[in-house]
Structure 1
Amino acid sequence: MNIVAKDMLLGSGKLTVMVKDSIDIQGFKTLSGSRALENSAPAAQNAEVIDRILNADCVITAKTNLHELAFGITGINHAFGTPINPKYSDLIPGGSSSGSAAAVAAHLADFALGTDTGGSIRMPAACCGVYGLKPTFGRVSRKGVHPAQSSLDCVGPFANSVDMIETAMQIIDPTFVKTACVTAPKLAWLNVEADTVVTECIESFLEKAKVSVTTVEVPSFQAAFHAGMQIINYENWQAYADLTRTGLIGADVQARLLKAAETTVEQVQQAEQIKTQFIQEIDVLLEQYDALILPTLPQIPPKVADAENTVAFLNLTALVRPFNLSGHPAISIPLETKNGLPVGLQIVAKQHADAQLCAITKFVVKAAQ
């Protein structure tokens, strides 16, 4: 995590905020965790979300490190350091918004901003044992966020409570209005593949909360996972191709970018067709149920020492990336196994039902206490 100079204390309010270093703050370079951007010019103006944070009289205390170019899932960064997972020090902090999740887990900020293109808020939230919300696509401004163009990326908050997630959303999204507490939401369990230790942890939590769920299937779920990767690969190559010629990108991201260069327009067009189908399937379910629930990650996060090969762990995004493709809001709730290992419970709601999603989350969490 990169703590910045004191002159970044631009506000004087009660809430402290840290910001992923792929989001522009005027006068500071936006490095996106990469030495390839060290010679870039400082940002000429704030990203829109930064102006909203400052207008709310919050204090921005730091920019946070990330998996290089926000193109990785482990959070490991050899250029500027891998953020330590405060609650589970041997395990990866998760990527790409690793520093923001770690900062909140360490109680260094009231909330932090991350970005989520293929799970990059929800994954580190699950790894670090905090809440993380990916809002509905397009709901929170991406003006001043890198890369500039993305069909899937969302800016969203990390916090240690749903109440603070709601507060953060009210600040960064002027259209967000808190919803009154819900009672007995109708929930569907999305039948997906996950390790037994993960599903047993979630089942125990739901039993404690006395929440009953109906199991449902989404035929195109796995296809949506792969389609999301095609779009991410294509768009990241468009954004960062020039940087691959600098010799300054880390080996793992360099290799993934060069592989991404092989993605064709035809593959992206096929991915868009799958996107349409997947959205329809999810929307049909969300006409019948208030929300869908499933694990955030299909397994316990790996140890940092075992996670150098990002490609080997891409399946960690199997349950989060599809909802980047569909654009639905999704939140990760921190749970823990009997052995004290992190598990995330993911809840997904209708598009633009972000406030209702938070209300459902609060109901479930309170019911389990």
Structure 2
Amino acid sequence: MNIVAKDVQLGSGKFTVMVKDSIDIQGFQTVAGSKALEHVPVATQNAVVVDRILAADCQITAKTNLHELAFGITGINRAFGTALNPKYPALIPGGSSSGSAAAVAAKLADFTLGTDTGGSIRMPAACCGVFGLKPTFGRVSREGVHPDSSSLDCVGPFANSVQMIETAMQIIDPSFHPAKALEQAPKLAILNVPASDEVNTCIAEYLVQAGLTVVNVDLASFDDAFHAGMQIINFENWQAYGALTETGLLGSDVHARLLQASETTQQQVTEAAQVKERFTQEVDALLSQYDALLLPTLPQIPPLVADAENTVAFLNLTGLVRPFNLSGHPAISVPLETKQGLPVGLQIVAKKNADEQLCAIAEFVMKATQ
């Protein structure tokens, strides 16, 4: 199914884990889904999160496939194959952590690890119908994660339940201590953002079924935050991977995106940092009034694999996730489904370092219809 990049057998224990192949495991290459990295040396030590997984008596069984260099949102990878979306085979698995989401959807692991710089955990979680958490920026170690330097990237888990997300977080973040189950409904606000009628209807009907009262709110700098996040990612990815454009081994979509990224200026990055400060303050202000913000994970139903060959044409799919990489707030995607049986993600955002509370809110929201 092209989910697995390479088989690994490390450790033992009651939980099986798979790790995105942009995360170092000692003795294995970190290829990041790219032919241009196929001859890099093997990693000489584990990423910190891998050491923590092994220390928790878990078994790592594989490294998972991804959109090349983690620089794409569809999950389509011509070099090593595109991970099949197990629940929705005609649809994209989402990127860049495609294999990690698909592995959980296929129940090949109890939890998996992905990375999220501009939505790369939440998007494939929504596409594949599983849970995916982007923790508060900086809360989970990135040591041993590629690219080495990133001001927006986060390591986080995929799972088939909130409880397993919490278990994974306790393993990879020793400071994570699950919150008590909520006894009353949290105070929720839903962001006014552009999304398709199918997506909006699915979420609205779910909230009614759950008996949850929500207030509609706006974030003035939301669109600016999306574009600012793109500028920062482009600038940093060119610094990390620009030299690979000279190898002739990159996929055409990533090659073109990197060349476009090379045009990002330091002035644009400086302006993006100003947007980051403003937008973060706006989110913080709303979260001083509400326990969490709700919005769709994706603005539309995930496209068909057959229609998604051009990654650039679908960059709008990151429109609702990327802003929270810029601000650094924790965000989780929980799986919903339309009456027609198509995947929709409900994204929940909480205060910085309130990752435990975010999971408790997600659990409450999911149980409210049961």
* Correspondence 1:77-116 to 2 at 5 A: 77-116=77-116
Q: Indicate yes or no: 2:207 matched with 1:200.
A: no
- Structure 1 counterpart of 2:247: 246
* Distance in 1 between residues matched to 2:56 and 2:344, nearest whole Å: 33
Deviation at 1:2, TM superposition (A): 2.5
Q: Which residue number corresponds to residue 335 of structure 1?
A: 336
CA distance in 2, matches of 1:319, 1:265: 25
Return the alpha-carbon distance in structure 1 between the equivalents of residues 137 and 211 of structure 2.
31
Q: How far, CA to CA, are the matches of 1:44 and 1:244 in structure 2?
A: 26
| TM-score of the two chains, using structure 2 as the length reference | 0.99
User: Contact 2:5/2:65 (CA < 8 Å) preserved in 1?
Assistant: no
Q: How far did residue 3 of structure 1 move?
A: 5.6
Unmatched 5+ stretches in structure 2: none
User: Tell me, what secondary structure is at the counterpart of 2:294?
Assistant: strand
**Residues 341-360 of structure 1, C-alpha deviations (whole Å, 9 max, x = no match):** 00000000000000000000
Asked whether the 8 Å contact 1:252–1:310 carries over to 2, the reply is yes
Q: Name the structure 1 match of 2:54.
A: 54
User: Does the residue aligned with 2:288 lie in a helix, a strand or coil?
Assistant: helix
State the alpha-carbon separation in 2 of the partners of residues 9 and 58 from structure 1.
11
- Residue pairs, 1:1-369, within 5 angstroms: 1-2=3-4, 4-5=6-7, 8-182=8-182, 183-369=184-370
CA drift at 1:241: 1.0
Q: How far apart are the structure 1 equivalents of 2:185 and 2:161?
A: 20
The separation in 2 between residues aligned to 1:154 and 1:126, in whole angstroms, is 17
**C-alpha contact 1:3 1:61 (8 A) present in aligned 2:** no
**2:10 aligns to what SS in structure 1?**
coil
2:52, 2:31 → 1: CA distance? 22
Question: Is the contact made by 1:135 and 1:154 (CA closer than 8 Å) also made in structure 2?
Answer: yes
> Which AA in structure 2 matches 1:4?
K
Q: 1:4, 1:242 → 2: CA distance?
A: 25
2:20/2:65 contact within 8 Å kept: yes
Q: Is the 8 A contact 1:4 1:62 kept in 2?
A: yes
Q: How many residues align?
A: 367
Contact 1:20 1:65 in 2 (8 A): yes
Q: Is the 8 A contact 1:27 1:43 kept in 2?
A: yes
Q: Is the partner of 1:112 in helix, strand or coil?
A: strand
CA RMSD between the two structures: 0.6
Question: Given that residues 24 and 144 in structure 2 are in contact (C-alpha distance below 8 angstroms), is that contact kept between their aligned partners in structure 1?
Answer: yes
By how many angstroms is 1:237 displaced?
0.1
Paired with 2:236 and 2:153, the residues of 1 have a C-alpha distance of: 11
Q: CA deviation at 1:4?
A: 3.4
Query: For 2:334 and 2:270, how far apart are their aligned partners in 1?
Result: 34
Once the two structures are TM-superposed, the CA of residue 195 in structure 1 deviates from its matched residue by 0.4
* In 2, Cα distance between equivalents of 1:325 and 1:361: 22
Contact kept in structure 1, 2:6 and 2:64, CA below 8 Å: no
Alignment CA distance shift 1:190-1:98 (3 Å):
same
CA distance in 1, matches of 2:314, 2:6: 32
Shift of 1:368: 1.5
Q: Aligned with 1:288: secondary structure? A: coil
Identity across aligned pairs (percent)?
A: 74
Deviations 1:252-293 (A, max 9, x none): 000000000000000000000000000000000000000000
CA distance in structure 1 between the aligned counterparts of 2:6 and 2:343, rounded to whole angstroms: 30
Aligned residue identity for 2:239: Q
Show CA shifts across 1:207-229 (max 9, x none). 11100000001000000000000
- Aligned-partner Cα distance in 2 for 1:205–1:106: 25
Q: Distance in 2 between matches of 1:23 and 1:95?
A: 16
Inter-partner Cα distance in structure 1 for 2:317 and 2:12:
39
State the distance in 1 between where 2:204 and 2:368 align: 14
Q: Report the residue type matching 1:344 in the other structure.
A: G
Given the two structures, how large is their TM-score scaled by the length of structure 1?
A: 0.99
Could you tell me how far apart the structure 1 residues matched to 2:5 and 2:280 are?
A: 40
